[in-house]
């Protein structure tokens, strides 16, 4: 590859240098190929800055009018795909500024008064991320509402609850899905909380020390909808905590969706057969005509690794940086953009995919006959009859072992057989009465967990109602 020098016009900062930047360095250091997606935010920030400059008498009213006019034309060109992005102008800011100057002359050159690209990019990325967070929160809400709909439909549908992937106790499918609602509720809280720290204005910090012009940062903050300004100029231009925090919240959200994806994949397997997914979320095989593969949840599971990696990339990016701004920070954008894109796309498709779940309730109920799901209910019954819990635990364990040897479930014992199975534990057999079989039913087990957070269908419906109120 030839390391030729450029014959293009001088850079905005080129007066200090005796030779132009080489094409190789130009390509290596340019960010316009990816940061052009912040063009709308860059224009918004520039207009607010220009309005403040005019209000403070730093530039004239006619300059501000020219800047407004030029920016409106540039925004239209970008929206229509007519804007010509140049690698020679390095980033989104210089591309827009150069075009503005071509359109309105000296007024365009005055726009950069009192600011640096350091505080400009820090402002743009916060504006962009704030928009991304708002979109993420809206999509989390869509996902939650669809999740609540299917949970409500299946508030009474029994299925095995698992620990260690072994049948543990009966729950309802609605209760199981509500666990993911709670995860997503925490996710929404984290993004909303992150937004508070994103929504602080760095503009006015200039390169690192502030500016000698009589600027009004609070006015700009109000114009752009920021809650407050960043109060230290050094920190303002070099801080990327907000991006790391967003990526951490995104990694947790994707981890939650990855867990749900893993369950959908398992449940869809013919060996489990709890659900089916709508065809639009699946693909076939190029060689096996019978296959229906859950590609979307598998990709969600895989893309979670990307969001985790992006978080680590940003943490590593920042760990050795001295104050204030360093060129390293140009590398913050691609991981951040990728994380936001991945989360937004995943939430959008997941909200739809939830509506495409077909529940196979008979298979769920049938699976409860494997694994002695109501054994704990039997132990609880004995405790309520006065047997110490540890003795009740041992007695039921003996009954389970006897049932395994006979190849049957606990409710299939006669009362005498059940008593005989527990006879080694003093006091267990005589405490077992005919009503014991009522507690061994699936419905009896579910109904007995009738407290806040429990799996009783009435509690599941109450949780769904509470969630709908939370969502407004």
Give the C-alpha distances (Å, rounded to integers) separating 176 from 5, 43, 93, 182, 258. 63, 46, 49, 10, 15
Residue 443's domain comprises 368-471
Residues 134, 244: one domain? yes
Q: Is residue 17 included in any domain, yes or no?
A: no
pTM: 0.92
Q: Is residue 13 included in any domain, yes or no?
A: no
CATH of the domain at 412: 1.10.40.30
With beta carbons less than 8 A apart as the criterion, state whether 373 and 441 touch: no
Q: Which residues form the catalytic set?
A: 164, 285
What HEC string does 275-317 produce? EEECHHHCECCCCCCCCCECHHHHHHHHHHHHHHHHHHHHHHH
CA 177 to chain centre: 17
Residues 42, 104: one domain? yes
User: What DSSP designation does 133 have?
Assistant: H
Residues in the chain: 472
Q: In whole angstroms, give the CA distance from residue 409 to residue 415.
A: 13
Q: Is residue 266 included in any domain, yes or no?
A: yes
**Long-range pairs for 232-236 at CB < 8 Å and ≥24 separation?**
233/119, 233/204, 233/205, 233/206, 233/208, 233/209, 233/324, 234/205, 234/208, 234/209, 234/323, 234/324, 235/323, 235/324, 236/119, 236/122, 236/202, 236/205
With beta carbons less than 8 A apart as the criterion, state whether 282 and 292 touch: yes
Residues 270, 407: one domain? no
The two tokens of residue 325 are 């701004």
Domain total for the chain?
3
Predicted pLDDT of residue 14: 62
Residues 90, 126: one domain? no
**Other beta carbons within 10 Å of 206:** 22
Q: Is residue 347 included in any domain, yes or no?
A: yes
Angle at 337 between CA 336 and CA 340, to 5 degrees: 85
Residues 376, 244: one domain? no
Residues 147, 294: one domain? yes
CATH of the domain at 32: 1.10.275.10
Q: Which helix (H) or strand (E) holds 201?
A: strand 200-201
Peptide bond into 416 cis (omega under 30): no
Contacts of 274 (CB under 8 A, 6+ apart): 159, 267, 268, 359, 360, 363, 364, 367
Give the C-alpha distances (Å, rounded to integers) separating 471 from 238, 349, 458. 36, 20, 20
Pick the last residue of a domain from 314, 334, 366.
Answer: 366
Q: Is residue 98 included in any domain, yes or no?
A: yes
Give mean pLDDT in consecutive 10-residue pieces for the chain, a chain of 472 residues. Answer: 40 68 84 96 98 98 98 98 95 97 98 97 98 98 98 98 96 98 98 98 98 98 98 98 98 98 97 96 92 95 98 97 95 97 98 97 95 94 96 96 94 95 95 93 95 97 98 92
- Reference 211, options 123, 118, 128; nearest CA is 118
CA 92 to chain centre: 27
Q: Is residue 397 included in any domain, yes or no?
A: yes
Q: Is residue 94 included in any domain, yes or no?
A: yes
Predicted pLDDT of residue 3: 38
Residues 238, 251: one domain? yes
Residues 200, 349: one domain? yes
Residues 139, 191: one domain? yes
Q: Which helix (H) or strand (E) holds 359?
A: strand 357-359
Residues 340, 394: one domain? no
Q: Which residues of 314-331 are buried (b: 16+ CB within 10 A; e: fewer)?
A: beebbeeeeebbeeebbe
SS3 label, residue 327: helix
Q: Is residue 7 included in any domain, yes or no?
A: no
Pick the last residue of a domain from 317, 339, 366.
Answer: 366
Q: In whole angstroms, give the CA distance from residue 341 to residue 339.
A: 5
Q: In whole angstroms, give the CA distance from residue 149 to residue 464.
A: 9
Gyration radius of the chain over CA positions: 31
Tell me which residue has tokens 């992150």.
194
Q: In whole angstroms, give the CA distance from residue 296 to residue 257.
A: 11
- Reference 442, options 358, 372, 384, 393; nearest CA is 372
Residues 396, 361: one domain? no
Residues 193, 314: one domain? yes
Cα-Cα-Cα-Cα torsion 377, 380, 386, 390, nearest 10 degrees, comes to 120
Predicted pLDDT of residue 15: 67
């Amino acid at each position: 590859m030839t390391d030729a020098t450029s014959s293009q016009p001088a850079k905005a900062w080129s007066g200090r240098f005796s030779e132009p930047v080489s094409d190789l360095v130009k390509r290596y250091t340019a960010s316009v190929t990816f940061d052009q997606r912040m063009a709308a935010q860059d224009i918004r920030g520039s207009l607010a800055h220009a309005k403040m400059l005019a209000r403070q008498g730093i530039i004239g009213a006619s300059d501000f009018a020219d800047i407004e006019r030029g920016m409106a034309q540039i925004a239209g060109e970008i929206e229509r795909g007519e804007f010509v992005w140049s690698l020679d102008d390095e980033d989104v800011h210089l591309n827009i500024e150069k075009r503005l100057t071509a359109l309105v002359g000296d007024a365009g050159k005055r726009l950069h008064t009192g600011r640096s690209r350091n505080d400009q990019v820090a402002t743009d990325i916060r504006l962009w991320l704030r928009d991304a967070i708002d979109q993420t929160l809206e999509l989390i809400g869509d996902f939650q509402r669809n999740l609540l709909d299917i949970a409500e439909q299946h508030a009474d549908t029994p299925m095995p609850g698992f620990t260690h992937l072994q049948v543990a106790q009966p729950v309802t499918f609605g209760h199981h899905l509500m666990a993911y609602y709670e995860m997503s509720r925490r996710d929404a809280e984290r993004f909303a909380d992150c937004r508070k720290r994103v929504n602080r204005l760095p503009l006015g910090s200039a390169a690192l020390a502030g500016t000698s012009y009589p600027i009004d940062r609070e006015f700009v903050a109000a114009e752009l909808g920021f809650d407050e300004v960043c109060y230290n100029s050094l920190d303002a231009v070099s801080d990327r905590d907000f991006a790391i925090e967003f990526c951490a919240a995104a990694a947790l959200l994707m981890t939650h969706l990855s867990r749900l994806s893993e369950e959908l994949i398992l449940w869809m397997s013919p060996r489990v057969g709890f659900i089916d997914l709508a065809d639009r979320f699946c693909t076939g095989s190029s060689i096996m005509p019978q296959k229906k593969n859950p590609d979307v949840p598998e990709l969600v599971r895989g893309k979670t690794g990307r969001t985790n990696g992006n978080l680590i990339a940003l943490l590593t990016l920042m760990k050795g940086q001295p104050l204030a701004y360093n060129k390293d920070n140009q590398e913050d954008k691609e991981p951040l953009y990728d994380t936001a894109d991945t989360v937004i796309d995943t939430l959008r498709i997941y909200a739809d995919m939830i509506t495409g779940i077909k529940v196979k309730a008979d298979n769920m109920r049938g699976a409860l006959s494997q694994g002695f799901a109501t054994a704990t209910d039997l132990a609880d019954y004995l405790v309520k009859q006065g047997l110490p819990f540890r003795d009740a635990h041992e007695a039921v364990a003996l009954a389970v072992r006897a049932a395994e040897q006979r190849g049957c479930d606990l409710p299939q014992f006669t009362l005498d057989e059940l008593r005989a199975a527990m006879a080694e534990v003093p006091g267990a057999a005589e405490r077992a009465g005919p009503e014991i079989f009522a507690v061994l039913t699936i419905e009896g087990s579910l109904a007995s967990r009738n407290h806040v957070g429990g799996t009783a269908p009435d509690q599941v419906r109450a949780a769904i109602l509470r969630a709908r109120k939370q969502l407004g």
